[in-house]
Amino acid sequence: MEKQKRLKNSRYITGFDGIRSLAVIGVILYHLLPTSMKGGFLGVPIFFVVSGYLITDLLRQEWEQNGKINIWQFYVRRMKRLYPGLVFLLVTASAYITLFQRGLLNNLRGVVLSSLFYVNNWWQIDNGLSYFDRFANESPFTHIWSLAVEGQNYLIWPILFVLLMVFVRKKNWIFYTIMGGAIASAILMMVLYTPNGDPTRVYYGTDTRLFSIWMGSALAFIWPSTRLKKNIPKQAKKVLNLAGGTSLIALILFFFFLDDHSNFVYYGGLFLVSLLCMVLVAVTAHPGASLNKCLTNPVFTWIGKRSYGIYLYQFPVMIFYEAKVSGIADHVLLHMTIEIALILIISELSYRFIERPLARFDYGRTFGVVKGWFTKPIISRQKPWVVPGTLVVIIALVGFVTAPKNAVTADQKQLQQNIAESKKLAEKSQKDQEKTSHSVDQAVLDKYDLTKAQGEKAQQLELTAFGDSVMLDAATDLKELYPKVVVDGDVGRQLYTSEPYIEELKKRDLLKDTVLIGLGTNGSFSESQFDSLMQAIGDRKVYWVNVRVPTKRWQNEVNAMLAEMEKKYDNMTVIDWYDYSNGHSEWFYDDQVHPNPDGMTNYIHLVSQALLGGSENKQAASSDETSNVLESDSRTSE
């Protein structure tokens, strides 16, 4: 194999490890503390800009030194750098899923193959998977979309680089050409983005995310690292330091305050963040500025060198951990610390024993190395990993080969059937509203432990039930007791995407004077987002069911927010489903969130005590007496 000539004047910019550290810390905290670090997702475009700059700067150095680019060697270097960690993740995670979390076997082949060929972002788009769905269908491989975007760029970029150097030649014109392409990509994001909708298509799409990478690439032509001089005028140094410090502070502020569902993000916000990162990269790369020293320290160096592995393993660790450990919402800091520790430990082991050794390995020796395994004892002190490693690979292959396209547990299957039936009933409730009431069956009153007077009131009540999959799943029971109810629920629905649906119900005269809401299962929300939804609802009486999501850290945040909002809005009553159902795991399916038939009976009883007991009694919904009555009934029925 032809060896790559070492670039003569290449310099390692230690401050880039600091930038990578900030980026990966932002991403991890975005997933662990989505309310506090709501803009942590911006770590990804920061990675993109740094990657674009470094790759193009190295290609430029190679072109200047050799007069050509060895495209094949470029691909080999990228594969050796990225593939070992990715393959290790896919194999070990697949083996774990096969043994311990078979509910995640869904589409495993598609995930693995799309990841290996760097098309995972398009695969997720094609399969309707959302990056912002943090509860339903959450996958340990969701984050691989960004590696796919980079991988696709790596495939085409050296070819485009050569074409630009041959046909455009002048560095300034190359800069303008690349920036033109970046601007076109950002404009396409604006065109394809649907305000207040799920932004996954523009968030995942290579065509709408390339601008960050290309902006870094453009910078490399006008700001080459090897031509920057250390000795510069004091005034120039001050300007550089001011620009770099300002961009760094602005990016950190965006980490805390820029919401991923803000329209601004997709109407130029990500482009602005990429511009700020261009400035940050430019100043960090300049040896005459002070920012490189500020971003260089042992902690940042350690994290930065392992940032690829940390990014790779963070999501699987979170998903696997949160699926097996209960009570996360009640001990957020403790579990967050454990998860971060696990991520760092696994990343360190991967860096030492997988990524770094295989990045330096001469793959021309592969046949000889493998042959040596079979000419010497398989089990030896020199190769203690061979047998367990082989077992892990075999288990992963079993999962890969046997994984059905839609593998579900019995509980999941039942829940899916319930939701599908409820969806049909909800649609029917909007089309065929009952205008008259009828006498309520005594068996129905007994089922929900209601009085005859409450039953008669339920027959007359014009009610709109709006929410996520928990509310949708309640459609059948609601319709049984409230014949005039209009149900509008959807799987994965978030509060901040709900306003257009409320407006649509108003236009169709389906938003009744009494509104029952169940939102917050899938993620938290801000006070301004809540206010916006309440303004859309108007002065109607709102009954809001709080949430039970014990495996998710936003549970307590959502419930605390709802308690505060109840004080703020006179027309709002919180129904305390969390407190009422606490300690009753037998009321729920395996996901610990969706009520099973027994749990749904208790859910409807609780809701009805609020709806039918009078709006003046806000605490009736969570009384201990009511809880004891239904608990006694449940035991009797057993």
Q: Which residues are the active-site residues?
A: 469, 591, 594
Q: Going along 435-512, which residue ranges are E strands?
A: 463-467, 486-489
Let me know: does 334 contact 47? Beta carbons within 8 Å: no
How many Cβ atoms sit within 10 Å of the Cβ of residue 632? 11
Q: How many Å apart are CA 472 and CA 227, to the nearest integer?
A: 62
DSSP assignment letter at 4: P
CB atoms within 10 A of CB 100: 11
Burial 143-163 (b: 16+ CB within 10 A, else e): bbbbbbbbbbbbeebbeebee
595: which DSSP letter?
B
Q: Euclidean distance between the first and final Cα of the chain, in Å?
A: 72
DSSP state of 593: S
As a three-state string, the secondary structure of 144-193 is HHHHHHHHHHHHHHHHHHHHHHHHCCCHHHHHHHHHHHHHHHHHHHHHHC
The Cα–Cα gap between 471 and 487 comes to 8
Structure tokens at 631: 């608990």
| Closest C-alpha among 107, 75, 119, 115 to residue 91 | 115
- Helix (H) or strand (E) segment spanning residue 539: none
CA distance 548 to 119: 36
486: left (phi over 0), alpha (psi -120 to 50) or beta: beta
3-state class of 464 per DSSP? strand
- Name which of 37, 587, 31, 76 is nearest 362 in CA terms: 76
| Largest Cα–Cα separation, the chain | 90
User: CA 638 to CA 633: how far, in whole Å?
Assistant: 9
Can you point out the beta strands (E) in 491-590? 514-518, 541-545, 572-575
Map tokens 């250390």 to a residue.
230
Q: Does residue 137 contact residue 129 with C-beta atoms inside 8 Å?
A: yes
Helix then strand then coil, in percent of the chain rounded to 5, is: 70, 5, 30
Of the candidates 506, 476, 473, the one whose C-alpha atom is nearest the C-alpha of residue 589 is 473
Positive or negative CA dihedral for 84, 86, 87, 92?
positive
CA distances from 30 to 44, 132, 397 (A): 11, 11, 32
Quote the CA–CA distance of 520 and 529 in Å, as a whole number: 12
Look at the block and give the residue holding tokens 């700059």.
Answer: 53
Whole-angstrom Cα distance, residue 389 to residue 380? 14
The angle that helices 234-257 and 270-285 make with each other, rounded to 10 degrees, is 140
